Structure 1
Amino acid sequence: MWVEHKEWVREAIRYMEFHLKEDVEFEDVVQHTAVSRFHFHRIFKEHVGISASAYLRERRLTLAAMELLSTNKRILDIALEYRFAGQDSFSRAFKRQYQMTPQQYRSGFRPFQRTQEEVGSYMSKNEHQTGSGQSYNEYVEQQEIQNVQSKLPVGWLFTGMFPNQYQAELDRLVVHRGTVSATVKGIANANPQGFGTLMQMFKAKKYQGKRLRLTGFLKTKEAQMAGLWMRVDGKNEEPLAFDNMMNRPVVGTKDWAQYDVVLDVDPLAEAIAFGVILSGEGQVWVDGIRIEEVDQSVPTTDSFINEDQTLPDDPFNLDFEVIRGEEV
Structure 2
Amino acid sequence: MYYSEVTQRVIAFIESNLTEEIQLDTFPSVIGYSKYHLLRIFKHETGKSIGEYIRERRLATAAMLLLHSNETILTIAFLFHFQSQEAFTRAFKEVYFLPPGKYRKLMRSIQMMEEEKEMNESKEIKGWSLSGSNPELYEITLDSDVFHTGTKSGLLYSKGVLNEQHFATMMQGFQADDYKGKRLKLSCFLKTEDVLKCGAWLRIDNAMGDTIQFDNMDNRSIHGTSNWNHYSIVLDVPGDSSSIFFGVLLIGQGKVWADGFRFEEVTKKVPTTNMLDVEHLPKQPSNLDFNEE
Q: TM-score, normalised by structure 2?
A: 0.54
C-alpha separation in 2, matches of 1:301 and 1:149: 39
Within 5 Å, give how 1:145-224 maps onto structure 2: 150-224=122-196
State how far apart, in whole Å, the 2-side matches of 1:286 and 1:148 are. Answer: 25
Aligned residue type for 1:304: L
Are 1:268 and 2:245 counterparts?
no
1:242 is aligned to: 214
Q: Contact 2:153–2:259 (CA<8 Å) still a contact in 1?
A: yes
Give the secondary-structure state (helix, strand or coil) at the position aligned to 1:304.
Answer: coil
Change (3 A) 1:148 1:308: farther
CA distance in 1 between counterparts of 2:134 and 2:280 reads 34
String of CA shifts for 1:55-102, please: whole Å, max 9, x gaps. xxxxxxxxxxxxxxxxxxxxxxxxxxxxxxxxxxxxxxxxxxxxxxxx
C-alpha deviations, 1:173-230, integer Å up to 9, x for none? 0110000000111122224212111111111111111000110000000110111000
CA distance in 2, matches of 1:181, 1:149: 18
How far apart are the structure 2 equivalents of 1:286 and 1:180?
A: 9
Say if 2:231 is the partner of 1:255: no
CA contact under 8 A between 1:202 and 1:272: conserved in structure 2? Answer: yes
Residue number among 311, 317, 320 corresponding to 2:282 in the alignment: 311
The one-letter amino acid paired with 1:264 is D
Taking the TM superposition and a 5 Å limit, the aligned residue runs for 1:122-137 are: none
How big is the shift at 1:150?
4.5
Read off the aligned partner of 2:140 and give its amino acid letter: A
1:229 has 2:201 as partner? yes
> Which residue of the partner structure matches residue 70 of structure 2?
none
User: 1:215 touches 1:290 (CA, 8 Å); kept in 2?
Assistant: yes
Instruction: Supply the distance in 2 between the matched residues of 1:298 and 1:154 (Cα, whole angstroms).
Output: 32
| Unpaired segments ≥5 residues, structure 2 | 1-118, 286-293
Shift of 1:148: 8.0
What letter is aligned with 1:189? V
Percent identity reads 42
Counterpart amino acid of residue 236 in structure 1: M
1:177 and 1:287 in contact (8 A); partners too: yes
Amino acid at match of 2:264: E
Asked if 1 retains the 8 angstrom alpha-carbon contact of 2:201 and 2:249, the reply is yes
CA distance in 1, matches of 2:242, 2:266: 19
Change (3 A) 1:301 1:148: farther
The answer to whether the 8 A contact 1:232-1:242 is kept is yes
- In the aligned structure 1, how far is the partner of 2:236 from the partner of 2:148? 28
Query: Gaps spanning 5+ residues in structure 1: where?
Result: 1-146, 316-328
Tell me the distance in 2 between the aligned counterparts of 1:156 and 1:255.
Answer: 23
| TM-score relative to the length of structure 1 | 0.49
Q: Deviations over 1:219-266 (max 9, x none)?
A: 000110111000000121000000000111011000000001110001
Counterparts of 1:40-189 in structure 2 under 5 Å? 150-189=122-161
Is 1:285 paired with 2:260?
A: no
Distance 1:205 1:301 in 2: 21
CA distance in 1, matches of 2:243, 2:281: 27
User: 4+ runs of 1 displaced by more than 3 Å?
Assistant: 147-150
How far apart are the structure 2 equivalents of 1:149 and 1:296? Answer: 45
How many corresponding residue pairs? 169
Say whether the 8 Å CA contact 2:130–2:139 is kept in structure 1: no
